[in-house]
Amino acid sequence: MRRALALIGVLAAGLLGFDAPAFAIPQVVLVQNSGWMEPFYTDPKSAFKPLVTELVANVVQPGDALVLAAFNQSLPGAPSPKGLLSEQVDAKTVHAHVEAALAGLQTARKPNGQALADTDLGEAVDAALNQVLAGKPGLVWLVTNNRNSPNNDQATAARNREFYALIHRGAAIDKAVAFPLRMPVAGAHYSANGLMVYVFAAGKEGGRALDALLASGRVQRVITEPPARLKPLDRDTVRLVPRRVEGAPGVSLAMDAGGRLHADVEPDAVAPATRIQWQLQNTIYPYTIAGATISARSMLAGENRPIELARHELKQLAPGKAEPLASSMQLPVARLPGKWSMEALKSAGSAYVLPGQIELHLAGQTLVLSQAFRERMAELFPGDPLPDIFTPPAEIQASTAVLPLEVRVHYGAGPLLAAIAGALALLAAGAGAAYAYGRPRRVQLTVEDELRTVHTRAGATQPIYDKAGQQVASLKTTLFGHQLIDLREGAQVRLGP
């Protein structure tokens, strides 16, 4: 085991520390080559290696760290997992490199050279999470025929429970999905009907990367089966899709491609609440929600308010199916900026956005595998108890679904144009006043029968002298005219000729 980990560590060490682009994430692909896989390698009609090649070439991105390894069960002299390829992905060469790495891979044998190698799924996944990724975020792919039998242990149910615990209760795995695939093959020793492809997301960042990968459609280019969720089973088990809004003129709802709900509100909408008709959809394939009690809340504009639901019981909602759900939701009309507010003026011609979310909580949640999925698993893996891995842990009895919400208030350009016009008028008035205040003025005075012309400006006060040089008055000029002040008694001074 140590030799196997050391080998993979050498292969991966240079990659996981490289200065990768911000979007790059390490991906580890583990391909089973134990004895139970013999027909996948020996049947001339087997599509096993081409499937792995196409899958890897499609799910990795340029700049990703890629480690490809074969696994069975580690024994002295027979390391597992065993590295096949380690590189920083180049889109132009990755397909050829993976194809070449798999070309010589055959069914492994034990060190004595006679018996075919056994299988240890948990050992392989643990090595990838803790040795290759070293506890860091990444994606681990496991391509297997679903036979978990370390040391040829016939107590496969017990071995499966260990693998089950690693997935469901291990803190290292944030998300996990599986793709059961039909691939009938026949070899000299065994035959098989199907193959399982697992992908485990390590850490929150790995979980986000897995979500983005599944949403991108790159997996669906190779695998058309829907992903069967293993983990988590306590969040995002349902989603709300709006159908129509009632009783709230000026309010409309729409959902974007990213699953965010947009509530478009006209600035004169004043209804304190709105009735919304939803579709409540089961998003947790392959599980039927046999029963749950549902409640909902909205968090918007600093307000945490309950959403009134028309009913609170959910029963027998099959995966992918939806049923109607009516609700009454409070709108934060009192918290929305008025059309003359600074926020509204800044948002004129676009929208003032108020972020928030709706939370839907399922209490007493009971999940059961859909009958169709059970039948498919029994067909692909007859007599194999590993599908029990899909049985939800007993402690998971609740889940929460979060629907991101944006309230967008659309303010017209009218108030902004009016404000701009008012501001321009004020500027014009100010400019006119400034000119009027600063322009030179000429004033005619008569002092002791002598006509004089005085040059002054608004705001100025000038002394007036008689012929003997004595100050007899002062001339005060304002925007509105002129005035003689401080007249000396008996002085002969007047405005005008």
432 belongs to a structural domain: no
116 belongs to a structural domain: yes
What is the 3-state secondary structure of the chain? Answer: CHHHHHHHHHHHHHHHCCCCCCCCCCEEEEEECCHHHHHHHHCCCCCHHHHHHHHHHHHCCCCCEEEEEEECCCECCECCCEEEEEEECCCCCHHHHHHHHHHCCCCCECCCCCCECCCCHHHHHHHHHHHHCCCCCEEEEEEECCCCCHHHCCCHHHHHHHHHHHHHCCCCEEEEEEEEEEEEEECCCCEEEEEEEEEEEEHHHHHHHHHHHHHHCCCCCCCCCCCEEEECCCECCEEEEEEEEECCCCEEEEECCCCCEEEEECCCCCCCEEEEEEEEEECCCCEEEEEEEEEEEEEECCEEEEEEECCCEEEEECCCCEEEEEEEEECCHHHCCCCCCHHHHHCCCCCEEEEEEEEEEEEEEEEEECHHHHHHHHHHCCCCCHHHHHCCCCCCCEEEEEEEEEEEECCCCHHHHHHHHHHHHHHHHHHHHHHHHHCEEEEEEEECCEEEEEEEECCCEEEEECCCCCEEEEEEEECCEEEEECCCCCCCEEECC
* β partners of residue 282: 238
| 170 and 51 share one domain | yes
| 160 and 252 share one domain | no
| 212 and 260 share one domain | no
The pLDDT of residue 431: 57
Phi and psi angles of residue 4, each rounded to the nearest 5 degrees, phi first: -65, -45
Q: Which of 360, 382, 415 is the last residue of a domain?
A: 415
The pLDDT of residue 382: 82
- Asked if 246 contacts 277 with a C-beta cutoff of 8 angstroms, the reply is yes
Residue listed under structure tokens 């909408």: 269
376 belongs to a structural domain: yes
The pLDDT of residue 255: 73
* β partners of residue 330: 273
Q: Which of 174, 198, 231 is the last residue of a domain?
A: 231
The pLDDT of residue 1: 41
Q: Which residues of the chain have pLDDT under 50?
A: 1-8, 10-23, 334, 340, 344-345, 347-349, 413-422
18 belongs to a structural domain: yes
The pLDDT of residue 337: 54
Number of domains in the chain: 3
| 469 and 403 share one domain | no
459 belongs to a structural domain: yes
| 18 and 98 share one domain | yes
| 87 and 30 share one domain | yes
- Which of 121, 207, 215, 132 lies closest to 171 in space, CA to CA? 207
Q: Domain range holding 259?
A: 238-415
| 220 and 76 share one domain | yes
The pLDDT of residue 339: 52
Residues 6+ apart with CB under 8 A from 312: 293, 294, 295
| 341 and 487 share one domain | no
| 76 and 186 share one domain | yes
- Which of 176, 281, 285, 146 lies closest to 226 in space, CA to CA? 285
Q: What pLDDT, in 10s, does the model give residues 387-409?
A: 567 777 777 788 888 888 877 77
The pLDDT of residue 424: 57
| 207 and 63 share one domain | yes
d(CA 399, CA 135): 27
The model's pTM is 0.74
| 263 and 347 share one domain | yes
The pLDDT of residue 319: 92
| 245 and 390 share one domain | yes
- Asked if 107 contacts 31 with a C-beta cutoff of 8 angstroms, the reply is no
d(CA 308, CA 167): 37
- Which of 453, 454, 476, 472 lies closest to 464 in space, CA to CA? 472
